[in-house]
Every structure is written in C-alpha cells, then in structure tokens.
C-alpha cells in the first residue's frame, strides 16, 4: 500500500526525478492562479459581480474576519500569507476526490515546507511590527533565563504544525485503505465525504494556528517599550 506521493516518480527532468508530490503541487498552484485570474479579469466598479466573484469575495471576507478576530486588526500582509496557506491546503485536500490525484499534503516534505514557511514568517512579522531589537527582546521576557525555553517553543511550533497536518492526512489514508479492503462497494462514498470534511478542518486549523503564532509575535509590547509600529491598511 502506497501512502505517500513521494514514491511515485512521474518523469525525470535534467537528471532529477520528479515525483507526484512536486507535480501535483504545481497543478494546485496553476489551478489557484488560473481561477483567480479568470474570476478577477473584469474586476471593475461598474461591472456587477457574478457568482464566482461573489464566492471569492465571501471566501476572502471570511478569512479577513477570522484574522481580525485573532489579531485585532486587518493587516493585509497577514491575509496574503495565511490566506494563501489556507487556500493551498484546502484545495489540495479537496482534490483527493479526483481519481488518481495524490494530495501533496500526504507527503511529509510538503507539510514540513509549509511549517517552515510559518516558522520563518513569524519572526519576520514580529520584526516588521516591533522592530529587530524589540522582537529579540521578547525572547528574554519576562527573564533572560527564559531564552532557551522561548527558542525551543518557537521551533516546536513548526514541528507540531508539520506533524499535525501530515499525521491527520496519513491517518485518513490508512483508515480509508483498511475500510476499502473490508467493504470496497460501500465505504468509498462515506470515506470521500469524511475526507473532504477532514481536509477543510485541517486547512482551517493550520491557518488559525499560523495566525495565532503571528499574532503573538506582533503583539503590542509591554508599556515603556518604545517600538516603531506600522499602520495597517
């Protein structure tokens, strides 16, 4: 039983083996880019919105509202980053219903890459909001003795994100394989429905956790700490 798309080599490019994880990641990126380009091609004030544009606006509006509830502001930089993460993961998970499509989120390399993106983005957002010195000072609060523990906590965030996403996708694949072996004519529809629901929930949880981590890094420093701040659009 094959559980990861990393094992499926589709072709070789300049001596480099290209597996299903890479190809399907490209497919998702092209799909999202194409949909966005098509839906927004007539994005003008005097053009009434169609159903696709309305759906896109509702989706973006929902993401903005969730970010605002967690961070207390509508910083578009967080929207661009977290929104992209959510749309990529949810699209990858929903496409599991397509026959022959192996979701890249079933690969540990993909989940680790997504977690590393969050791990790098958190200090970047923190430095951009609090300044370099202000952000580094947060690692020794409330006492310098907390420095190693804060560093460990920062790294563990990325590890937990990667393992959580990968573990949930892989556990779903294992359960589906077992049930299909037991009753191949009854369980496919049920497992597809359960897989779609789980995929949406996992994308939502990943995006929420990324937002929470960014919010903690960009939180207002204690009184008396002078830190340059940028007004959010």
- DSSP line for the chain: ----GGG-EEEEETTEEEEHHHHHHHHHHHHHHHHHHHHTTT--TTSPP-HHHHHHHHHHHHHHHHHHHHHSS--HHHHHHHHHHHHHHHHHHHGGGSTT---GGGSHHHHHHHHHHHHHHHHHHHHHHH-HHHHHHGGG-S-GGGHHHHHHHHHHHHHHHHHHHHHHHHHHHHHHHHHHHH-TTTHHHHHHHHHHHHHHHHHHHHHHHHHHHHHHHTSPPPTT---------
- Separation CA 223–CA 121 (nearest Å): 25
Q: What band does 205 get if pLDDT is binned at 50, 70 and 90? A: confident
pLDDT at 227: 44
Say which range, 34-48, 109-123, 130-144, 158-172, has the weakest mean pLDDT. Answer: 158-172
pLDDT at 195: 67
Q: Which residue has the higher pLDDT, 160 or 66?
A: 66
Q: Where are the domains of the chain?
A: 5-217
Q: What band does 171 get if pLDDT is binned at 50, 70 and 90? A: low
Does residue 220 have a pLDDT over 50? yes
Question: How is residue 231 written in tokens?
Answer: 């007004």
Cα separation values, 116 from 8, 84, 91, Å: 24, 15, 20
In which residue are the tokens 């499509």 written? 101
Q: Which residue has the higher pLDDT, 63 or 141?
A: 63
Does residue 223 have a pLDDT over 60? no
- DSSP line for 72-102: SS--HHHHHHHHHHHHHHHHHHHGGGSTT--
Most confident of 2-16, 79-93, 130-144: 79-93
pLDDT at 212: 87
* Tally of CB atoms within 10 A around 42: 12
């Amino acid at each position: 039983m094959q559980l990861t798309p990393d094992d499926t080599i589709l072709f070789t490019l300049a001596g480099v083996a290209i597996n299903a994880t890479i190809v399907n990641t490209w497919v998702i990126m092209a799909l999202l880019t194409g949909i966005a380009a098509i839906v927004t091609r007539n994005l003008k004030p005097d053009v009434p919105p169609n159903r696709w544009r309305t759906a896109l606006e509702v989706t973006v509006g929902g993401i903005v509202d969730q970010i605002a509830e967690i961070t207390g502001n509508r910083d578009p930089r967080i929207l661009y980053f977290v929104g992209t993460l959510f749309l990529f993961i949810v699209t990858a998970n929903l496409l599991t219903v397509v026959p022959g499509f192996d979701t890249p989120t079933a690969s540990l390399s993909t989940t680790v890459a997504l977690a590393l993106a969050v791990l790098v983005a958190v200090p970047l957002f923190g430095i951009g909001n609090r300044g370099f010195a202000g952000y580094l000072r947060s690692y020794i609060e409330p006492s310098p003795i907390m420095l190693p523990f804060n560093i460990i906590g920062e790294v563990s965030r990325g590890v937990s994100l990667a393992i959580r996403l990968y573990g949930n996708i892989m556990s779903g694949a294992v359960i589906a394989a077992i049930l299909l072996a037991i009753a191949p004519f009854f369980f496919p529809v049920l497992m597809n429905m359960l897989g779609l629901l789980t995929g949406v929930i996992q994308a939502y949880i990943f995006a929420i956790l990324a937002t929470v981590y960014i919010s903690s890094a960009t939180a207002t420093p204690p009184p008396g700490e002078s830190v340059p701040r940028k007004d959010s659009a």
